[in-house]
A and B are shown apart, each in its own frame.
Chain A
């Protein structure tokens, strides 16, 4: 029996049956399929995802392979190559940091909930997945990222532009570098200028994600951030002890008022894993953040255990996702980072372009 030739359009039609679960569209209309080659009965192509941290990468690969095998007669072999390209949301050009596609703000209602630890691990985890990542420590009251990322280097200034420090594959900048001899309490206008300089006066180069570790609570730094650059979205870190998440609510509302989309809520120090028996102990009755997220209609990104190893590796200057990637805590952090990257992709596709048309 003679078989009709395999054509590109037949393969594309078959691939239209594969849906991206986040964007709820098929992978062909999303323009994910690239570099298709048909040689005899062998079909090969790239599936260009929206982030290398995509949590459903393997599923999409398998579905694409099956779709072509099942639906296109004559195909003997399908080679799917998974690639990724982080898309930038169609935000206004003004105030943009050239080359930076997405800005993720990490906030919390109160101090000490592990915000910086989570920010450092998210940045390291995104970089580990292959993305280009920057990390800005915008906590003027207690910059701690340089210690967590073991960078003794200070950034250099070339032609009035700050060159960020490279730490574990992440480009790092801390407001602490600018404070020098400054007293710990910054006056408003000074903090404002320092943050602007840390955003716009730094040679970030090409970045898929710039993670910004904010000071706890709400204040001038938050306002300066959202007024200076288009923020893709914000993540809130809380702990089970946050009384009904009440303090985080203020932070949530601040982002909401400035139209910064909420990418999700993370519960840190959620439960305790016994280092001896591996047993799980719900010290504070965890799960409050998940419930709050649900009632607010905000994605819940995950729980991170209270694990002495997280602290140990932070103190030693290497985030746990790099130091012990196979540990349960590192896996929890990597999984939550994948969910976060998903939410960023959704925002990038959802947001309306904000430009002013001159008539």
Chain B
């Protein structure tokens, strides 16, 4: 089926812990918790990843440890948009991408 490969990347529940992290429970039961700094260091936007070479320009070590996740909202049916305390707001994180970068031991 066409929808099979990404089916896992469908969220059943999304929780935000103020400032700190976002937790997604996926439809297959798996749970991913993303800390603010981890997310900010994996921003997929064109300022953080070179559009021509695909090279990551801003990664976790460039981010101050006390960065906060100020706001989160959904984008259509398919992604989340975050605002960070360093003023960065240009990343759109698709659920496919978020599932791929799940930091849990099982996935890493």
Contact = CB atoms under 8 A, between A and B. Distances in A.
Contacts of B72: 356
Interface in A58-94: 91-92, 94
A107 to B, nearest CB: 15
B62 to A, nearest CB: 26
Contacts of B3: 256, 262, 297
A358 interface: yes
Nearest to B20: A359
B76 A230 contact: yes
B2 A297 contact: yes
A120 to B, nearest CB: 25
Nearest to A262: B2
B15 A226 contact: no
A95 B11 CA distance: 19
Contact of B76 (A258, A296, A352): A258
A258 B72 CA distance: 18
Contacts of A356: 14-16, 22, 72-74, 80
A247 interface: no
A296 B1 contact: yes
**What size tier do the contact residues of chain A reach?**
20 to 34
Contacts of A229: 76
Contacts of A359: 15-18
Interface string A281-316: 000000000000000111000000000000000000
B8 to A, nearest CB: 12
Decide if the interface of chain A is mainly helix, strand, loop or mixed.
loop
Nearest to A354: B74
B14 to A, nearest CB: 5
B96 A257 contact: yes
A119 interface: no
Contacts of B78: 226, 257-260
Contacts of A231: 76-77
Interface string B65-98: 0000000111111111000000000001011100
B12 interface: yes
Contacts of B95: 259
B106 interface: no
B10 interface: yes
A34 B99 CA distance: 43
A277 interface: no
Decide if the interface of chain B is mainly helix, strand, loop or mixed.
strand
A92 B17 contact: no
Most buried by A among B22, B72, B73, B75: B75
A256 B12 CA distance: 18
A354 B2 contact: no
Contacts of A94: 73-74
B27 interface: yes
B6 interface: yes
B100 to A, nearest CB: 13
Contacts of B14: 354-357
A104 to B, nearest CB: 14
B81 to A, nearest CB: 9
A259 B77 contact: yes
B55 interface: no
Contacts of B16: 356-359
15 contacts: A94-B73, A94-B74, A227-B75, A230-B77, A252-B2, A258-B94, A259-B10, A259-B76, A259-B94, A260-B76, A296-B1, A354-B11, A355-B14, A356-B74, A356-B80
Closest 6 CB pairs between A and B?
Answer: A259-B78, A297-B1, A92-B74, A259-B77, A226-B76, A296-B2
Given A230-B77, A262-B3, 16 more contacts: A226-B76, A228-B76, A229-B76, A252-B2, A256-B3, A258-B78, A258-B94, A259-B77, A259-B95, A296-B2, A354-B14, A356-B16, A356-B72, A357-B16, A358-B15, A359-B15
